[in-house]
Amino acid sequence: MAETFSKRERRKKKIERRREKELRRDERRNTVTKGKSLDEMMAYVDENGNLSETPPDPKKSYTIAAEEIVIDIPKAAPADSEELPTGVISYFDPAKGYGFIVDEQTKERLFVHVKSLAQPDMELNTGDRVSYTAMRSQRGMQAVAVMKR
């Protein structure tokens, strides 16, 4: 039985794609074996932080103590260690008993629950200024000992 034109064209395209794939694979294999030596692949960083092919001058090198290296930026400590951080209630749902506080300095958002209020009968509303103590919980930062200002 004779093969239709479309089937024959599909088969030709499939064979051509397979051949192209084999050629690409062979090229990758050849470039790996024909690669440069380790010395040719080395890159150095100069005193300005730019990449270069020449190794640095050992006379210009100096050692740095590991304690001097700062990996991250420390968070700013409050001006008065006795003063509690303050914030504004950005959202509070009294029916559900939870909300969020936005810290005035860091703009960090903290979770607040009715159980973590300093006075259990205190009511919080959106826009109230409060002071609190921050504590890390399982789900992130949480405000405890919350008091209105």
Q: Mean pLDDT across the stretch 16-43?
A: 83
Q: Given this model, what pLDDT does residue 69 score? A: 85
Q: Given this model, what pLDDT does residue 77 score? A: 59
Q: What is the dihedral of CA 76, 82, 88, 92, to 10 degrees?
A: 120
50-100 pLDDT per residue, tens: 998 888 888 888 888 998 888 887 666 555 556 889 999 999 999 999 999
Output the six-digit token pair for 128: 């109230």
Q: What is the pTM of this model?
A: 0.47
What does the alpha-carbon distance between residue 103 and residue 31 come to, in Å, rounded to a whole number?
Answer: 56
Q: How many percent of the chain have pLDDT more than 90?
A: 47
Average pLDDT, the chain: 87
Determine phi and psi for 37, rounding to 5 degrees.
-75, 170
Q: Mean pLDDT across the stretch 128-136?
A: 93
Q: Given this model, what pLDDT does residue 80 score? A: 59
Instruction: Scan for tokens 């040719």, then name that residue.
Output: 40
Taking the domains of the chain in order of start, what are their residue ranges? 1-70, 86-148
> How does residue 35 score in pLDDT terms, banded at 50, 70 and 90?
low
Q: Mean pLDDT across the stretch 7-34?
A: 88
- State the CATH architecture for 86-148: Beta Barrel (2.40)
> How does residue 27 score in pLDDT terms, banded at 50, 70 and 90?
confident
DSSP 8-class letter at 95 = T
Q: Given this model, what pLDDT does residue 74 score? A: 67
b/e code 34-68 from CB counts within 10 Å (16+ = b): eeeeeeeeeeeeeeeeeeeeeeeeeeeeeeeeeee
Q: Mean pLDDT across the stretch 100-111?
A: 93
Q: Does residue 13 carry a pLDDT above 80?
A: yes
